[in-house]
């Protein structure tokens, strides 16, 4: 009898969860990042009607001239929506970024690059029927990092293009809400 009651209760809870029309979570990928050999995925969670938080994870495998960059980046973000429908609408989003990359040049010399930074994104996110999500964003970013563990007395310079120093963080993310 207890198993039957637990099963009925579980079915009611799951039915209620599936019946909700409001999406509180979004999973997205940034297809533009593939142009610079980066894969990035984002998870966003609605806090209330005007706020959400998002966590981005990226893997970089980019080659710039004779240096290959490979490693990960984490980007936590806090979104403030201008309407009362968080996860859909115009927003401003302060964010932080941590990066940890291995650099390898064409002579197989290596170094490690780590940085910490942040910035602010401005964007517009649309949540369509059936849960399809489109997110367009851009804004300034600043990262400060350092090279370490440089092998074979090789000469490495700090990376540019937004990995170190001032840059632009921009993207277009596609995903689904649930």
Q: Which residues pair with 145 in a beta bridge?
A: 115
**Cβ atoms of residues 160 and 119 within 8 Å:** no
Tens digit of each residue's pLDDT (9 = 90 or more) over 46-73: 999 999 999 999 999 988 778 888 999 9
Tens digit of each residue's pLDDT (9 = 90 or more) over 15-28: 444 444 578 999 99
Mean pLDDT of the chain: 86
The length of the chain in residues reads 178
DSSP string, 7-35: HHHHHHHHHHHHH--S--EEEEE-GGGGG
Q: Indicate the SS3 state at residue 142.
A: strand
pTM: 0.81
Question: Which pLDDT does position 17 carry in this prediction?
Answer: 44
Instruction: Place 151 in a pLDDT band, splitting at 50, 70 and 90.
Output: confident
Which domains, and CATH codes, for the chain? 20-177 (2.40.160.20)
């Amino acid at each position: 009898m207890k198993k039957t009651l637990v099963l009925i209760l579980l079915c009611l809870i799951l039915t209620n969860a599936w019946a909700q029309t409001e999406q509180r979570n979004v999973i997205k990928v940034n297809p533009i990042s593939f142009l610079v050999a980066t894969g990035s995925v984002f998870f966003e969670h609605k806090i209330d009607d005007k706020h959400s938080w998002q966590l981005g994870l990226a893997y970089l495998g980019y080659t710039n001239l004779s240096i290959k960059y490979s490693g990960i980046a984490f980007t936590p973000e806090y979104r403030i929506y201008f309407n009362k429908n968080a996860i859909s609408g115009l927003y401003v989003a302060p964010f932080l970024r941590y990066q940890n990359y291995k650099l390898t040049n064409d002579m197989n010399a290596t170094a490690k690059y780590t940085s910490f930074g942040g910035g602010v994104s401005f964007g517009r996110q649309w949540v369509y029927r059936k849960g399809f999500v489109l997110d367009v964003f851009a804004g300034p970013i600043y990262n400060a990092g350092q090279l370490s563990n440089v092998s074979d007395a090789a000469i490495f310079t700090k990376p540019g293009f937004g990995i170190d120093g001032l840059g632009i963080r921009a993207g277009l993310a596609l995903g689904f809400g649930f």
